[in-house]
Structure 1
């Protein structure tokens, strides 16, 4: 069993990554239903929370069925991060997570996210302020370094552990790589196997199949795996990995009826949480992923992203289930 402070997780937990514009409550709902052991919110701007910006505050919404859940914050100012941590704590998550890994320019080039990897003393000082001012377990998600010439992940892990971080998730790429190239898990294994590191270490990057999850679990010895992009439009990946771990066999991929069913649930929760107009609009980005791999699906996808009426969308989803019942490939 993996423990983060007093929080007990499974023997080898599967975590849902905090993804901007993806990991909202509707998406988390379908991932939890399909086997995610612990999930995180989208990353939340510290400045937004302090200024009571509606978009940032809305991201604090969490539901009991999601637990255990972590709220993730990001920012470049120590004072702002400390205050944002206090605000996030009031939402009563199980974990407070700090984003030291976001590679996007508007975040990293301002010294937040992966940008702080260029200043490890500041990273340590910021983390200490947060740990000292909240009662929640504090965890961190980070990358290997800014670029291939500045990988200091073992030093970063030691510094974070020294100031009280209870677990660390490492994405096996540098900031410079963004999401390109292959994630290098050998560095993650170095951290996990270092004699001075005793907190749980979770690996992240490129896990897109049960076979790869098992290979990396055995090869790199991490305490658990965080899954991001592979879960978008495919929340079944969590249960598929768990089944493969237990049996060595792959579950049959979801058929068209299961895909339509989950898309409907996602749509309903999206509307419930965001309202009709925004819920329908923001759901559009998910349809392509839910129905990826279906031949001759483009006309239906076009209709789904153009339709603004809830009942018409539901009818269209029913039509998709009937139309592709026998021709749909079950390959993920």
Structure 2
């Protein structure tokens, strides 16, 4: 066998390995016969690939249900240890850190009240949640930080980069965008082809997800002229200011034409449901009015979205790394 033909065979093997792993990552646990049928590969090739992925601890066997024929019950899913991510989500009064495995299981969660020294607090929280999860700091794939507007963590990111290996990707993003993504993936807009979310960050902020682009949240605009509507305090958001917000959201919805409008429960000092009802009545005037829903609590949704975003990116990194490897 020539070197050229050997190289071609290895390249083909890498492509098939990535294809199998990509299918498992995107579609969930699969049996070997299912993979062979869906990918149009021979059964022997699929079993060989799965054995290699399993030995590399990239996939593992899961038993779907009891069966007399064990081979039919065995499926292969992404090994929980294949990727590990740390999510740190900051709100105006607290910080939540989560260490999650490839299956999305929260191996450890740490919640603290926010202190003035946020930069040091973030670094300490990451160390704490990694230790509580029993994870190896050298094997953390991603650290993702969700921040409200006007809060930066550039120094924390640099400090974390000094303490973690270069292979650990560290980034900061909008906590509101993570929250909006979670509403589309797990929350009230889960089945909607497109949606618009409006909430407080701390001013009134909009995020939209167009049809066909689920998970790609765009923070499309802010309105800082309505602080009392965004404020989380009793009695906020009354009178003409509510009408102003309803008019504003109506005009944005008219342009973007979402299937669902998600109203932050925190708006108007926790009067999101009241605002949603008023908005729904106004939007009924449209030819095809969107469904108006009230969001879930802000911080848990932001944490959920941050973890999911980090896992998505870590899995993509895993697939990318496989492309250039001669062997797993």
**TM-score when scaled to structure 2?**
0.27
Which protein is bigger by CA-based radius of gyration?
2
Whichever structure has more strand as a proportion of its residues is 2
Considering Cα pairs closer than 8 Å and 6+ residues apart, tell me whether 1 or 2 has the greater RCO. Answer: 2
